[in-house]
Amino acid sequence: MKYAFKDREKLYFVLEYCHGGELFFYLTNLRRFKENAAQFYSANILLAIKALHEHNIIYRDLKPENILIDAQGFALLTDFGLSKENMTDESRAKSLCGTAEYLAPEVLQKERAYGKECDWWSFGCVIYEMLTGHPPFYSNDRKQMFEDIK
């Protein structure tokens, strides 16, 4: 984020222009990545999550739509609206938030608390999607299950 400001109705964020667009765009058009491309983007994402966790932030909404590609081809995370601060290794969250296809099991189980590990589950889901062209565990039955939770 470069700058933020608000008026009476909205909060505005000024972000770096990411010439490459969303990772989702490339997955939609290419269906899946070659292994070396998936490795490169995975390394970028891993470093971003690691930096967030070192600052006691859990991201909670890792998905291809929230990964932007900058002008040099590096992956950047965007949309921190579901992130949670002050999450030490011992801290736990309980709110159900994120995107269905990428949610860790402990996030789905409302009675169970979770921590930073939920981001690593989502990270694995994104890697799987980059390599296969579709998110893991996705089916019409699972889609209906998430509709029922809402």
d(CA 75, CA 83) in angstroms, rounded, equals: 18
- Measured distance CA(55)–CA(52) in Å, rounded: 5
Tokens of residue 121, six digits: 């589950």
Active site residues: 61
**Calpha distance 146→150 (Å, rounded):** 7
Task: Count CA within 13 A, CB hemisphere, residue 17.
Answer: 2
Cβ-based neighbours of 44, under 8 Å, separated by 6 or more: 74, 75, 76
